[in-house]
Amino acid sequence: MILVTGASQGIGYECATALLARTDERLLITGRDAGKLLRAWENVPDPSRERLTTRVCDQARRSDVNALIALLVHTDPPVTGAILGVGVNPMYTEGPHRIHAQSLGAVESTIQTNCTHTLMLTAALLGLFRARRSGTLVWIGSQAAKAGLPGAGVYCATKSFLAGLAQVAHNEYADRGVRVHLVNPGLVRTPRTADVVDRFSAAHGVAVSGAAETAAQIVDLYLAGAAAPVEVNL
């Protein structure tokens, strides 16, 4: 079974549908909104829908993350790989803020979701893969981390965290049959990001990719990226 987090819409959903189309694996997708997850499941055509399971998991909530980990430990068939796509950006809810003006609450909640809880889920998956001597783990990062997008300092910092995590995971688990990658998309238009992305693109002349196009590249890496580097910019 393949886990895809943050998959009720956007890049995560497109990754899930691509995996269903290109593999025979069962999928477990998560999202924080039960209604959106149901619509995502309904939008998958038969017979692929029979291989798709949904679970509500708000990665901002420690209890939800712990419950998901407990499920993964005991799930049958076992989880063989994961694409971890959850990442909150307070710029979309509060607007852009320079670092000195960012609220402490937004800083703490963003770090908890994007770093602490991602690390908890990562550690559980790596432990499972290490025990089986097999598994593939892909984190979805962002090129914003290296570009240093003004107004999104906290988000960029948390995405930089993934770079260190991915390299250490490779160094610690590659000899146990575990393959890991951090994939960094550029500007991607999704239902959540469309307004901000389009304005930024128009102002700076930066190309925008679609969610399906980006997901196809991520799934290519997941399925056939054994020779690829740990960190890949799309």
Q: What is the pLDDT of residue 191?
A: 75
Q: What is the pLDDT of residue 93?
A: 81
Q: How far is CA 220 from CA 22, 26, 88, 216, 227, in A?
A: 10, 18, 25, 6, 12
Q: What is the C-alpha to C-alpha distance for residues 16 and 8, in angstroms, rounded to an integer?
A: 9
Determine contact, residues 180/82, Cβ cutoff 8 Å.
no
Per-residue pLDDT for 67 more than 90?
yes
pLDDT digits (tens, 9 = 90+) for 16-28: 999 999 999 999 9
Q: How far is CA 193 from CA 89, 92, 204, in A?
A: 10, 7, 16
Segment 42-52 shows an average pLDDT of: 95
Task: Output the CA torsion sign for 91, 94, 99, 104.
Answer: negative
Q: What is the C-alpha to C-alpha distance for residues 27 and 82, in angstroms, rounded to an integer?
A: 9
pLDDT digits (tens, 9 = 90+) for 158-205: 999 999 999 999 999 999 999 999 999 987 777 777 677 777 667 667
End-to-end alpha carbon distance in the chain = 26
Q: What is the pLDDT of residue 190?
A: 78
Of the candidates 232, 126, 231, 221, the one whose C-alpha atom is nearest the C-alpha of residue 177 is: 126
Q: What is the pLDDT of residue 201?
A: 67
- The partner residues of 180 in beta bridges, in order of sequence, read 137
Phi/psi for 39 (5° steps) reads -65, -35
